[in-house]
Amino acid sequence: MTRISPEISPEMVREKVKELLPERYRHLLPVIMGIVETESSFNPYAARYESHFRYLVSPERYYRYYSSSPEIEVILQKTSLGLMQVMGANYRTMGYKGPLTALFDDWEKQLYYGVKFFLRLYEKYGNVPDAVAAYNAGSPRRKSDGTYVNQSYVNKVLKRADKWRSK
C-alpha cells in the first residue's frame, strides 16, 4: 500500500488499532480500519470544521490552558481532527486535556481516542451498523423506509471493513 503520510502507513495504523483493542473487541478491527479509511484516507493531518456542531465541552474552561482564546477553543471543538475525524469536543468528553492542535503531531493518540469513542458507541448500541451510523451522525437515525439517514456512509465503511477483513 501507498504511504499517505511520510510517518505512517495503513499497516502501521492497523497494528496500532489492533494493539488498542481489548481482546473481546478484536472482531471490530476491520470496521475501525474502514472508518479510518473513509474518514481521513489515513491522513493524520485531516481536519474539517463543522459549523453546525453544537455539543461543546466547557470551552471557557479549556481555553485558559490550551487555546489562545475561547473563540479558538470553540472552533477547535467544532472541528473533526485526525485519522478517525473525532470532533474536538468529543476528545474533550473522553478526557483529552492537551491542546487540540497537538493531536496533529500524535497519530497514535488520535487512534487511542477514536477507538475509545467508537467502542463507547458499540457498547451503547450493541451492533456494528448502528455504531457506525452513530459515529458519523451522532446517533443511528433511520428514515421511514428503515435505512439510516447516512446509509451511504454506513455502506462505505462496511464495504471497506470487508476489504480489511480479508487482509
Residue 98, classed as helix, strand or coil, is coil
In a domain, 33, yes or no: yes
Asked if residue 1 belongs to a domain, the reply is no
Q: In terms of residue numbers, what domain contains 132?
A: 10-165
Considering the domain boundaries, does residue 94 fall inside one?
A: yes
Residue 47 phi, psi (nearest 5): -150, 145
Read off the pTM.
0.92
Answer whether residue 25 is part of any domain: yes
- How many structural domains is the chain composed of? 1
Whether 39 is covered by a domain: the verdict is yes
Element (H, E) at 87: strand 86-87
How far apart CA 155 and CA 129 sit, in angstroms, is 9
- Structural domain contains residue 64: yes
| Residue 141 within any structural domain of the chain | yes
pLDDT band (50, 70, 90) for residue 106: very high
pLDDT tens, position by position, 74-83: 999 999 999 9
Query: Is residue 3 pLDDT above 50, yes or no?
Result: no
Query: For the chain, where are the alpha helices, taking DSSP H only?
Result: 10-20, 29-40, 59-66, 70-77, 88-93, 107-125, 128-137, 151-165
Q: How far apart are CA 84 and CA 37, in angstroms?
A: 8
- What is the pLDDT, as a whole number, of residue 167? 79
Calpha distance 135→85 (Å, rounded): 10
- CATH code of the domain covering residue 85: 1.10.530.10
Mean pLDDT of 132-142: 97
CA pair distance 146, 149, nearest whole angstrom: 9
The distance of Cα 76 from the centroid of its chain, to the nearest Å, equals 15
The side-by-side arrangement of strands in the sheet containing 47-49 is 47-49, 79-81, 86-87
Q: If you average pLDDT over residues 57-73, what whole number do you get?
A: 81
> Which SS3 state, helix, strand or coil, does residue 127 take?
coil
Q: What is the mean pLDDT of the chain?
A: 93
